[in-house]
């Protein structure tokens, strides 16, 4: 009986230690989430407006104007940019990003994958490890971005994708990431990156956007296109960063709650075992006393 009590005590001690870790991780993630959330909420309207403006201009551009980054061609080679985290313990966050990436390949690029023409450029250690382990074609230069997250590092990855598209190494580039909604909600999406998507005009929106260009439209577009595209990747990375911390905070909160429930059950088991041990000892004492009297 004493052995059983010792085992339950050890389990209670182990669960208590684990709970202290999960509570600490939740607090750390909450602090990081606050900063990451502020960053994406400030960045998102700016990035969305830039993307909207760029898509409108590309859609209304005349046919005689060359826009290499908006060049639509037959899709033979594809580059996917999944954005995962460097660390785990964030629930199903990384699994969902990877699942979304594989779903995009299965639904849109199965033929290209069968020919070996799908390449993955992961951002984040978890995605890099997964796609490398499964034998995908992987560009392994940029998966460490989260170790030093800043615009310059993200811009380097974005420029690599743009140059590869311009050199016709890839005909389509898509970003797979998690859009941050709140700490408990992330939306996993795949967004077209290159060629620059055009706005589908319907009804009254068929009219061309009326912009005044200074200097010329060609000069502005050639200068602004790469900068806006860099901003789009940075926005996706900030979204993913906030989503990661939100997912980890939620996962650690759930883990702490589960530890509480487990501790409650273990303490009940411990008290029952201790009560049984006391009852057994009392029975033995009474039996011994009765034997002596007899």
Two tokens at 154? 């993200």
Q: How far apart are CA 273 and CA 276, in angstroms?
A: 5
Catalytic residue among 25, 58, 78, 90: 90
Q: How far apart are CA 101 and CA 178, in angstroms?
A: 11
The residue with tokens 């929106």 is 205
Q: How far apart are CA 23 and CA 63, in angstroms?
A: 59
Two tokens at 233? 């990747």
Side-chain half-sphere CA neighbours of 121 within 13 A: 22
Instruction: Judge contact between 161 and 183, C-beta under 8 A.
Output: no
Q: Is 46 a catalytic residue?
A: no
Count other C-beta atoms under 10 Å from residue 95's C-beta. 14
Q: How far apart are CA 10 and CA 270, in angstroms?
A: 11
Write out the catalytic residue numbers.
Answer: 90
């Amino acid at each position: 009986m004493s052995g059983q009590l010792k085992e339950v005590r050890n389990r209670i001690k182990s669960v208590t230690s684990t709970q202290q870790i999960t509570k600490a991780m939740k607090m750390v993630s909450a602090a990081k989430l606050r900063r990451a959330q502020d960053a994406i909420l400030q960045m998102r309207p700016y990035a969305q407006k830039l993307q909207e403006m760029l898509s409108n201009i590309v859609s209304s551009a005349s046919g005689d104007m060359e826009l290499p980054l908006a060049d639509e061609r037959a899709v033979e080679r594809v580059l996917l940019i999944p954005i995962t985290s460097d660390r785990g313990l964030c629930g199903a966050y990384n699994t969902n990003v990877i699942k979304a990436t594989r779903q995009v390949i299965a639904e849109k690029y199965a033929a290209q994958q069968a020919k070996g023409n799908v390449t993955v450029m992961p951002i984040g250690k978890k995605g890099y490890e997964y796609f490398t382990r499964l034998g995908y074609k992987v560009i392994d230069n940029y998966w460490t971005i989260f170790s030093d997250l800043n615009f310059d590092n993200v811009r380097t990855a974005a420029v690599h994708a743009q140059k590869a598209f311009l050199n016709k190494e890839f005909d389509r580039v898509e970003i797979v990431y998690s859009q941050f909604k709140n700490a408990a909600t992330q939306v996993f999406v795949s967004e077209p990156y290159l060629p620059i998507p055009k706005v589908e005009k319907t009804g009254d929106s068929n009219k061309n956007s009326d912009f005044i260009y200074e200097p010329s439209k060609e000069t502005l577009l050639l200068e602004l296109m790469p900068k806006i595209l860099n901003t789009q990747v940075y926005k996706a990375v900030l979204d993913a960063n906030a989503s990661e911390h939100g997912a980890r905070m939620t996962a650690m909160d759930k883990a702490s709650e589960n530890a509480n429930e487990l501790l409650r059950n273990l303490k009940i088991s411990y008290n029952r075992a201790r009560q049984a041990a006391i009852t057994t000892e009392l029975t033995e004492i009474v039996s011994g006393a009765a034997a002596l009297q007899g």
